[in-house]
Structure 1
């Protein structure tokens, strides 16, 4: 029998399933991450900070330096000031870092659904709103660093007879969480895969994020002129859903360790899945934005001038290690892809021209 640590949120979800029946994995993931009081992100984890849960881009000053350069270059390209909008700003460390490298004050807004993280962002002096719907259309530089991989996903599988089935979260006779297969909760799941030319192999599991389209549409609506940039891990559809990836890409992180059981430490661990860049690009283009570039993170940061980052009082070896961590293909340099879009009739964004 699998031993799992019980949590307050786990108890709530168990009672809900027992009372209302199985829920889609998408709904379970949404609650595990974004339950108003007990979700992982709602509690305000130390995301991207030196003392935090994850060692990612946001903890490196050189990364903030490059994004500040990207903002300055974007304003130079467009010829006017841009509002900076960070999607999912974590603890606010990256935002304050970016502002520290800009020579003059800028309007900087964090879009953050988590009240816990909002509190931390505001404590650092950042303006924060719950959703992009709280913002009006403006010339903007909008970016998200590891945001899309946290959007809730449906889990599906080819049942071996050519039928697409969906995983639901249920409770077994012993009172534990388990996944069961059922008919898809929406025809949009098969429609998405068919539109991308994807056919899952026999017994192959996969994740499908239907949140991308409304999410990107809402973001595009606030950019009257400017750029949208995402840094995240994922792949284009034919590679993401290749038959060799039989178990999908879902994974969890608990206290800096990768784990594989989403039903353990519910509300206390992150749950994530690779981004479907094909669906992402289509969503952006359908929202009126034009594809402006795609590159590995290391290449993009080098194009922005990361090697010009020379802060005073920093040990040269430490500085070199920081740049290597961000740009080396064996480290984060190829872990993350950078995708960019632009509003009509403006030049390519910084790092892609």
Structure 2
């Protein structure tokens, strides 16, 4: 999975993610606007520091950072130090004030956000064989002979036990995601670390796992060929911080998919059309069966 996503010929080294899958960032500028509102509130809580950090982990081509900066008031934007964190090279069209690095900078004083990053942090998958033994799943979908590591077994026992599962049941060992998130949080000196992703909790783990892939806007077979995005849902509760459904988080930040009052169509037809378009975009971001089913994992420092 690591080689297929991040190796020399990996997906994220050669592809533009927006060409293959749609995230909240790509769905509507309302998402960036909501994060700008959150950053503004955080700025006030931090007593308006001279330098307000904005770090985007898994920044893609910098679309979210660009959108947030455009939505901020001038007095806040002038104090923001924006940094994109991505293994891929810096995009050539990225505005020069935005920094670019391969790992989160230390000493963040502000907001660190990771939107659909953790689901692409590579992990191991295990499967129960016909004898009830837990075995690693290999990239050719056969099962490894050697027993799994004790540390992986400990994570499974704590977060995704397979004791009563039937043969063929799978689990995705979230240790790499837990460690990656902890390392990102550790770079925040004061402020908020926010992970936005799709996932599940202990009471509802999927019996056969969630590994899948996307290519050219379609869900496809999860083949580790570097031509497609390999992804698996996140075990959200193992990250060790509170989680809020995206639809609730966005409504707290002023993004609501409610239809505008019909009376507005008579008094201000153009305004009604604009409000209707905004409500439609907000509805996609807050739809519990889609992007609204994502969760915001929030770690305050």
Task: Output the TM-score relative to the length of structure 2.
Answer: 0.85
CA distance in 2, matches of 1:121, 1:280: 34
Partner SS for 2:38: helix
Question: How many residues matched?
Answer: 280
CA contact (8 A) 1:148 1:275 kept: yes
Q: Which structure 1 segments of 5+ residues have no match?
A: 1-28, 170-176, 282-290, 344-353
CA distance in 2, matches of 1:93, 1:314: 26
1:39 CA displacement: 0.5
One of 5, 24, 34 as aligned partner of 1:57:
24
1:188 maps to: 151
Partner SS for 1:58: helix
272-281 vs 77-86, greater mean Cα deviation? 77-86
CA distance in 2, matches of 1:313, 1:119: 37
CA distance in 2, matches of 1:229, 1:214: 15
CA contact (8 A) 2:212 2:232 kept: yes
1:78 maps to: 46
1:333 CA displacement: 1.4
1:88 maps to: 58
1:235 CA displacement: 0.9
1:236 aligns with 2:201: yes
Partner SS for 1:168: coil
CA distance in 2, matches of 1:69, 1:191: 40
1:224 CA displacement: 1.1
Distance 1:209 1:125, change over 3 A: same
1:256 aligns with 2:226: no
Partner SS for 2:152: helix
Q: Supply the RMSD in Å over aligned alpha carbons.
A: 2.4
1:23 maps to: none
Distance 1:268 1:121, change over 3 A: farther
Partner SS for 1:54: coil
One of 309, 316, 319 as aligned partner of 2:275:
316
One of 82, 100, 104 as aligned partner of 1:108:
82
CA contact (8 A) 2:39 2:110 kept: no
1:69 aligns with 2:75: no
CA distance in 2, matches of 1:252, 1:274: 11
CA contact (8 A) 1:92 1:120 kept: no
CA distance in 1, matches of 2:131, 2:107: 48
Distance 1:184 1:112, change over 3 A: farther
Q: Which structure 2 segments of 5+ residues have no match?
A: 261-270
Partner SS for 2:55: strand
2:13 maps to: 42
